[in-house]
Structure 1
Amino acid sequence: MPPYDARGEANRAKRHRAVLIGVEHYEGARNDLPAVATNLRLMREALTAERTGMLGPDDLVEVPADGGPATVDPLRVRAALTAAREEVTGLLVVYFAGHGIVRPDGSDLNLMFTDSRVTRDRHHPFVDTLSWRDDIMPELRYARADWVVVILDCCFAGNALWAFSPAAGQNFALLTAAEPGVEIPPGDPGTGTEFTAALHRLLTTGEGEPVTFTRIVTGIRRAMAPYKAVDGHPWVPDERRHGDDVVLALAAGPEPPRQPPRDGAPKGHTRRWPRLSAPALPHRLLPVLVRRMTRTTALVLAGVAVLATGGTWYLLGGSAEGACDSPLELRVLTDPDLRPTVQKAADAYPRRDAHGCRTVGINVYDAKATDAVSALRSSSLWQEPPAVCPASGVCPRPQRDVGAQPDVWIPAAGSAWQRATAEGAGGGPGGGETSTSTGRSVVKLDRLGSVAYTPIVLGVPDTMSLPQSLQTDDPLGEIITGLEAAQEVEILRPDPEGTEAALLATDALYATSADGHASTVEQGMAGALRPMPSTARELMCALADGTHNDLEDRAAVLVPEQTLAQFNLSAGETGRPACATEALAHRVAHYPSDVPMLDLPFVRVSWEGADRDAVARRTAVEDFYEWLVTDRAAQECFTDDGFRGVDEGDPAPPGDDSVLRSEDNTTAVRERIPTTGPNADASASLNETLSRYRGALGPGRVLYLLDNSTSVADKRLWDGTGGAKELVARSMGSLGAEDSYGVWTAAVAPGKPVTELVGLGPNTGAAVRKAVAGAGTAAFDARIGAGLRAALTALRGDSTVAEQPRLLVLVTDGEDFEDVGKSEQAALVTDAGRTPPVRIVTVSLQDGACAPGRFGDRLAVASGGRCLDPGDDIAAELAAEVAKAGTGDAE
């Protein structure tokens, strides 16, 4: 297909818009960005250029507005995006320039505004920001626009690529100033940032043919090649595109023919909406109407003129827009795994009156499963949010974390409903959902029944060996044991904070862990894929994107059956996700007997004091539920996406037209499976699982043990670039204020304990780096064996947090390392495998210690750690290993 052209004949009458967001001024610790003002001017010029621009001046929405307050807050930005989502039918361009910030693991890019700040709340660390993953992408995913193009000019812009999730069939392109994890310079106030200045040149100087998105990508990468990002990183803009291509600027050739401007329109500006044929208005009204006419009123007045002379103008399936009353709005909150399907069902809901007017409008939105449960348990906070956050930084705000007060809640499983209604199930940030002491329940949650079903399966690549007998009716632990006995395998599941399916899978995973510790499971997953995607679809997309090919071949995934079935479809098949590629192997579903089925309960949410339209609302909710479970078209919305339908309250066998019965899934899924449901104590079990998961992710305990013998200095491995001290100091960037860490040196006189250069405990990064920089070598051999024993004992000494990540980093030249006797090596290897687990990362500054079977390799195998030598990128790999235990400070 030819690229989409907003100025082409077929699209000229549509509504186009650019939302330009620039944050120049910041309060608090963030530096101002004076180049942003120039960036906005450059983008304004490029998009509205006389000969090349795709938009007119009236098509631009700028935040902050020209001449208005310089402050920018997320509410204004969100409102501008919401309006654009609803109103734009052609091309929508969104541009952001300002500060970007991410979590320590690189996930959840947040765009920062004037009053944005960072807190110590690990679950909600950013205040007055907008999350690309949770706010902006969901807002734009269901835009009416033919094409959405987003351009991000900020630090960590590339991290948005990990949460790029357009709707099926949506045309959406994302251009980021740099690759994931890369910070960029602030730019020059006079010329703007290097990225936006280059983008302006490309959009305004194209010759010979229109400038499309794909041409922009090639051109911007070429333009940025001479520059370096922060820390000397190569400056490579990145992109994702879902759809064919889109024109962003016309060729800078002769001026194309234009329609004559309407009275009062700026010269040279082509107004792109249809000219409606209508009888003339009374002459005396024309001067007034022309003076006051806007784009919206032009359409309305033209319609009025037609109606006034006996003509009829029908909208929305044949009804005059003005004759319809506003429909009753139902707000439906659902699980992120379910959002696309529930949205499809809501769009198909046919309720209209005899005049064709919609009687019920349904607004579907999703929230993290844990946030939804917390909010409904403390639902009074929707109406009375806390005035200030407590000292802990934990500040639950349902309007921020979830959205508007729902009328209907469709979680993925009844276990979520159980947790939301259970007495005393809350546990605060370290336990289950937010404690009800921060708010009270003002809702009644009536479970009406299930709207569809799908079991959680372990999707195993069909290239792996596994006995057929283990495909169903066996516990998850036995299935995994059978897999691991035959080949190397990585077990993955999405973030259990995000979806109910991932939480239920995590509950079963922890029960199958060999040592019973969540940290073993989580650190293993972090080593395979970091950050962990938020939903099952995002996990499968991450494996399919071509950057994890080795992992894709050995990854068994715990996901809903319907997700696995969709990704099994061959290219070109209806229902195959847009991100699926041939790199993703066909997977066979194995059905663990100890993981409950997802039963998609429909929950009516009734609010105290909401009496004004209570009867009508209750009737509408019940009608929507009855339609979902009894209407064939409604059920097909679910079965077409791979769910199992409802048959008298139980899962229905898949029909002939089900995705589950497609040729691609004939041998991959089971037609009939046993029904499993949550246990009676699901609330307590899952809240405990959440507590263990959060503990397993930090804060951590990290102890560095340095070989500071004279041989290290003699070999020039102590000081300077790549030396022991520099490697340790750089890796500390992965540690945060809440982590406990210390540095010991191992070269001491015989019989003496190792030296505590910095004691193990809460420390200040600057002070520790200063101590490491000033450390010297000692005229003794390194007591590696004694140091390892003492370090393991110290790391295991604090038993108050059973799941706390623990890491021991041993840095040595290897000379004294191999002097440890065979019997002592064996004892230390045994000790390394004990619980609570301590991962050991050995950094050998010379080759040899990490060879298979050598001491460093054996310590790594026993503890689930690593052994790094000069054959590895030690600096990068060590920082990544420390990041698995530390909370970090990436921003």
Structure 2
Amino acid sequence: MPPYNARGEENGAKRNRAVLIGVEHYTGTRNDLPAVATNLRLMREALTDGTTGVMRPEDLVVVPGQGGPSATVSPLRVRAALSSARDGVDGLLVVYFAGHGIVRPDGSDLNLMFTDSRVTRDRHHPFVDTLSWRDDVMPELRNSRADWVVVILDCCFAGNALAAFSPAAGQNFALLTAAEPGVEIPPGDPGTGTEFTAALHRLLTTGEGEPVTFTRIVTGIRRAMAPLKAVDGHPWIPDERRHGDDVVLALAALPEPSQPAPAPAPPLPPSPAGPPSTSPAPSPSSGPPPPADAPQAVAATGRKRRAASVRRALSALVGRMTRTTAVVLAGVVALAGAGAWFLLGPTQGDDCGSPLELRVLTDPDLRPTVKKAADAYLERDDAGCRTVGITVYDAKATDAVEAFRSSSLWQAPPAACPPSGDCLRPQRDVGAQPDIWIPAAGSAWQRATAGGASGTTAAATGTGEPAADVAKSVVDLDRLGPVAYTPMVLGVPDTMRLAQSLQTDDPLNRIVSALQEAQPAEILRPDPEGTEGALLATDALYTASRAGYVSTVETRMAQALPRMPSTARELMCALARSSNNGLEDKAAVLVPEQTLAQFNLSAGKAGRPDCTTEALAHRVAHYPSDVPMLDLPFVRVTWAGADRDADERKAAVEEFHDWLATDPDAQKAFTDDGFRGAGESGPAPPGAGSVLRSEDNATAVREQIPATGPSTDVSASLNDALNRYRGALGPGRVLYLLDNSTSTADKRVWDGTGGAKELVARSMSSLGAKDAYGVWLAAVEEGKPATDHVPFGLRTGDGDGAQKAVTGARTAAFDARIADGLSDALDTLRNGTTDAEQPRLLVLVTDGEDLEAVEEDERKELVAKAAGTPLVRIVTVSLQSGACADGRLGDRLAAASGGRCLDPAADIAVELAAEVAKAGTGDAE
């Protein structure tokens, strides 16, 4: 198939757009980027060049536009531009970003930074006023109507976006990043722009006799950047992902265009490039305001598309006619337009008022299905005017609960965060005030209403402090009843057979114990902060735990899957695309039954997730008796003071609930996705069209299932599970043991980029204000303890000083006493605290010589001590290849402690920072 050409004759009537975003000025601690202004000019020139450009000047939306270097660029403004482009483009959509990029310590969640962006010490929400590529940008663009989407990222850590590249099935989407994952890039020269964008400009404006496609760009840009180095001397290698064949980004550089210019396209919707509205926020009495894209035109979408099809067909025909014929036909087109208006009727905006807008907040595991049902509700009335519009969005389960517990902060957010950096801001963490809340389970409603007393403040939020100390409640949460059901299950690969009697009626701990006795298995579940189902499963895992079990189970999960997925679907996708087939084959997953059923579907079956692969094992559902059913309660949210349209809003909410719970079309949206419908007294048996009745799930799921879990209030137990989970993740105790023997200098692994000191200092950015840490030097006289170079127990405020102390360390004319240092370090980490759940990490950095010199009897003692309690994970960093081979000391210490052994075969800098992040609470940039 030839590459897609937006300027080709067949696409001449389609709408194209390029959204160019450049952030030059920053108000916080980030340096300004004066090269960005030049970057925007270069991209404008390349895309609209009179000979080679694939865009017209009017197709460009430039943010910040004409504001100059000091212009403010906000995430809201950028998101509005992306949303408008998503809905208004049916040809080629190009999105370009130049500015600062930032990631979490483990390299996940690339965030694009804007003028007022900043970093906090809140590990759950470390970035403020940014846009997450994974959670904001990619989901926005994967819903685009465009034939092709091309995104270009010119920022530090741009390559980290590749891990969250998830186009829709059949979507043509390409992503070009300035560098590989984990790589920072120079800021560029103000006169010539960044090296990456300058090279891109040259490639786009020099076609060399043939069109410049995306694949040609990738080859050319890598060749252009090969002689250059990124920050810290890293090779500068642009990276890419592509879903689709190929796309033309610049026409051939010929004296005359090879084809006539395309017919003028219909005008684009108004550009959002101007500054956002500064009108004051609505008062509480008005109720939640409609979003910027209120669906006035949605009701007439079908009519508009039919009319547009007529216009495009006629415009294409005009392009092939002679001038005389075209003049005649132009009159026909005008008459056809009038006729189409007469036949199709006026649009919603012509005669109809704005519909009442309802906002639906839901659990991340539920959002795709709830949105599908809401869309069906919107389309069920074909009378011409809609009375209700519905917006569906999701938020982390814990964020939603805590926001409702302190709901007044929705209307009056705190002026400033406390020094700890932990700051509850519902508008930021959750979104606009909802009218409806559909959590995954009634337990979320219990936690939000303090055990059932709707509208009152509660004793515990899961953060350890009373909600009443944070803010008061200004909301009533009325539970109207479930709209569907799905049980939580332990999905076991069908190659790991368990007795059929264990499929139902047994607690989770018994099922897991039987599984582990039969064969080694890894128990995985999504982040319990993210979804209510994962939290309920985590509570069951913790309930029967022995001392230290929480730390052990969380450490094993982090070891098996370092980046904890946020939802059940993301967990299954991670296994499907994992290069670690050994993990996929032995991973038992705690997920909703409907997720398991979807991922069991064979290739080509309707409802099979886009991300799955044939490598993903078929899984059998086991139904733990102590994990409550997900009952998808419908909760009406009423805000204090929102009286102006209260009766109309209440009636609309109740009508929507009745439709979801009883209408066959609404129930089909749930049952098609593997949920069990809402019966008169509980979950209805799956019908003939249900995913659960598919032949792929014939032996995997039970048609009849027992009611699972307690019917009592479980909010206290879940709050305790959250506290234990958070305690197991930090703040931590981290002790570095640094081999400073003369051999490290002789082997040139002591100083410089990638050297022992630089690795330790760089990984310390993953430590936070509440973490205790220290650095010992291991090269000392025989019989003496390791040198306390950075005293253990330091809690920074003085992180820069500690890093400078490390980079200033010197080698000593002694051998490194590795065995003694490891033994003393284990004792130090285990003493001085009674918190068995606190993360403890011992990092040994060595050139490998003195590590290999440890005698076998000492090795056995160290391995036995490493396996003791409380758990201390040991990460051995060997700057010599082969030291992590099977049976070597580094490998044995890792196996005994649940740690890691890293050598030059791994990206040590990135992996070590990620390992320290598991115990620390800081952030990497």
Query: Distance between the aligned counterparts of 1:418 and 1:198, measured in 2?
Result: 57
Shift of 1:870: 7.5
CA contact (8 A) 2:686 2:693 kept: yes
Cα-to-partner distance string for 1:626-654 (whole Å, 9 max, x where unaligned): 11121111111111111111211411222
Shift of 1:408: 0.7
1:887 paired to 2:921: yes
Residue matched to 1:445: 477
CA contact (8 A) 1:328 1:361 kept: yes
CA contact (8 A) 1:20 1:95 kept: yes
Query: Distance between the aligned counterparts of 1:816 and 1:546, measured in 2?
Result: 32
CA contact (8 A) 1:513 1:520 kept: no
Query: Distance between the aligned counterparts of 1:84 and 1:186, measured in 2?
Result: 28
Query: Distance between the aligned counterparts of 1:653 and 1:542, measured in 2?
Result: 31
1:258 paired to 2:261: yes
Query: Distance between the aligned counterparts of 1:264 and 1:109, measured in 2?
Result: 34
Residue 37 of structure 1 aligns with an amino acid whose one-letter code is A
Residue matched to 2:292: none
Query: Distance between the aligned counterparts of 1:849 and 1:243, measured in 2?
Result: 42
Query: Distance between the aligned counterparts of 1:191 and 1:518, measured in 2?
Result: 54
Query: Distance between the aligned counterparts of 2:888 and 2:634, measured in 1?
Result: 58
Residue matched to 2:287: none
2:464 to 428, 431, 436: 431
1:334 paired to 2:362: yes
Residue matched to 1:325: 353
Query: Distance between the aligned counterparts of 1:148 and 1:512, measured in 2?
Result: 50
CA contact (8 A) 1:14 1:273 kept: no
1:454 paired to 2:481: no
Query: Distance between the aligned counterparts of 1:600 and 1:125, measured in 2?
Result: 30
Change in CA separation of 1:561 and 1:607 when aligned onto 2, cut-off 3 Å: same
1:369 paired to 2:397: yes
Residue 803 of structure 1 aligns with an amino acid whose one-letter code is E
1:75 paired to 2:105: no
CA contact (8 A) 1:450 1:649 kept: no
CA contact (8 A) 2:881 2:903 kept: yes
Shift of 1:174: 2.9
Residue matched to 1:284: none
After alignment, is 380-389 or 87-96 more displaced? 87-96
Change in CA separation of 1:747 and 1:95 when aligned onto 2, cut-off 3 Å: closer
Residue 257 of structure 1 aligns with an amino acid whose one-letter code is P
Cα-to-partner distance string for 1:343-390 (whole Å, 9 max, x where unaligned): 111111157768421121111111111111111111111211112222
1:379 paired to 2:374: no
1:194 paired to 2:195: yes
CA contact (8 A) 2:625 2:709 kept: no
Cα-to-partner distance string for 1:664-687 (whole Å, 9 max, x where unaligned): 222222222222245534211222
Aligned runs of 1:626-705 on 2, under 5 Å? Answer: 626-677=658-709, 680-705=712-737
Change in CA separation of 1:357 and 1:181 when aligned onto 2, cut-off 3 Å: same
TM-score (norm 2): 0.84
Query: Distance between the aligned counterparts of 1:95 and 1:871, measured in 2?
Result: 34
Shift of 1:161: 2.8
Aligned Cα root-mean-square deviation (Å):
3.7
1:413 paired to 2:465: no
After alignment, is 134-143 or 89-98 more displaced? 134-143
2:561 to 512, 524, 529: 529
Residue matched to 2:325: none
2:870 to 819, 829, 836: 836
CA contact (8 A) 1:746 1:784 kept: no
Cα-to-partner distance string for 1:41-68 (whole Å, 9 max, x where unaligned): 1221222222333322222111111256
CA contact (8 A) 2:626 2:710 kept: no
Residue matched to 2:315: none
SS at match of 1:158: helix
CA contact (8 A) 1:546 1:583 kept: no
Shift of 1:101: 0.8
Shift of 1:335: 1.1
Residue 648 of structure 2 aligns with an amino acid whose one-letter code is A
Shift of 1:794: 2.3
Change in CA separation of 1:170 and 1:611 when aligned onto 2, cut-off 3 Å: farther
After alignment, is 451-460 or 713-722 more displaced? 713-722
Query: Distance between the aligned counterparts of 1:709 and 1:244, measured in 2?
Result: 55
Residue matched to 1:296: none
CA contact (8 A) 1:461 1:555 kept: yes
Query: Distance between the aligned counterparts of 1:541 and 1:311, measured in 2?
Result: 46
1:570 to 599, 602, 613: 602
Residue matched to 1:54: 54
Residue matched to 1:860: 894
After alignment, is 404-413 or 836-845 more displaced? 836-845
CA contact (8 A) 1:408 1:603 kept: yes
Residue 388 of structure 1 aligns with an amino acid whose one-letter code is A
Unpaired segments of 5 or more residues in structure 1? 266-271, 278-300
Aligned runs of 1:478-627 on 2, under 5 Å? Answer: 478-511=510-543, 515-545=547-577, 547-627=579-659
Residue 841 of structure 2 aligns with an amino acid whose one-letter code is L
2:375 to 344, 347, 351: 347
Cα-to-partner distance string for 1:251-291 (whole Å, 9 max, x where unaligned): 445422135779999xxxxxx989979xxxxxxxxxxxxxx
Shift of 1:246: 4.2
1:314 to 344, 355, 370: 344
Shift of 1:21: 0.8
Residue matched to 2:181: 180
After alignment, is 181-190 or 356-365 more displaced? 181-190
Cα-to-partner distance string for 1:818-861 (whole Å, 9 max, x where unaligned): 76784x76665554333332113345677998676676555433
Change in CA separation of 1:542 and 1:866 when aligned onto 2, cut-off 3 Å: closer
Shift of 1:871: 7.5
SS at match of 1:647: coil
Residue matched to 2:388: 360
CA contact (8 A) 1:352 1:358 kept: no
Query: Distance between the aligned counterparts of 1:779 and 1:249, measured in 2?
Result: 63
Change in CA separation of 1:420 and 1:227 when aligned onto 2, cut-off 3 Å: same
CA contact (8 A) 1:510 1:516 kept: no
Residue matched to 2:330: none
Shift of 1:405: 1.0
Query: Distance between the aligned counterparts of 1:705 and 1:723, measured in 2?
Result: 14
SS at match of 1:890: coil
Residue matched to 1:150: 151
Change in CA separation of 1:200 and 1:568 when aligned onto 2, cut-off 3 Å: farther
Cα-to-partner distance string for 1:168-201 (whole Å, 9 max, x where unaligned): 5554433322222221222232332232233333
Query: Distance between the aligned counterparts of 1:847 and 1:160, measured in 2?
Result: 30
Residue matched to 1:40: 40
Residue matched to 2:304: none
Residue 464 of structure 2 aligns with an amino acid whose one-letter code is G
Residue 689 of structure 1 aligns with an amino acid whose one-letter code is A
Q: How many residues align?
A: 856
Change in CA separation of 1:731 and 1:88 when aligned onto 2, cut-off 3 Å: closer
Shift of 1:112: 0.9
Residue 59 of structure 2 aligns with an amino acid whose one-letter code is D
Residue matched to 2:274: none
Aligned runs of 1:711-750 on 2, under 5 Å? Answer: 728-729=760-761, 731-745=763-777
Residue 551 of structure 1 aligns with an amino acid whose one-letter code is L
Residue matched to 1:295: none
Residue matched to 1:768: 802
Query: Distance between the aligned counterparts of 1:804 and 1:497, measured in 2?
Result: 18
Shift of 1:516: 3.8
Query: Distance between the aligned counterparts of 1:188 and 1:46, measured in 2?
Result: 19
Query: Distance between the aligned counterparts of 1:303 and 1:97, measured in 2?
Result: 46
SS at match of 2:505: strand
Change in CA separation of 1:766 and 1:614 when aligned onto 2, cut-off 3 Å: closer
TM-score (norm 1): 0.87
Residue 609 of structure 1 aligns with an amino acid whose one-letter code is G
Residue matched to 2:324: none
CA contact (8 A) 1:351 1:359 kept: no
Unpaired segments of 5 or more residues in structure 2? 269-306, 313-332, 452-456
After alignment, is 602-611 or 82-91 more displaced? 82-91
Residue 113 of structure 1 aligns with an amino acid whose one-letter code is F
Query: Distance between the aligned counterparts of 1:82 and 1:242, measured in 2?
Result: 21
Shift of 1:421: 0.8
Residue matched to 1:292: none
CA contact (8 A) 1:353 1:359 kept: no
Residue matched to 2:277: none
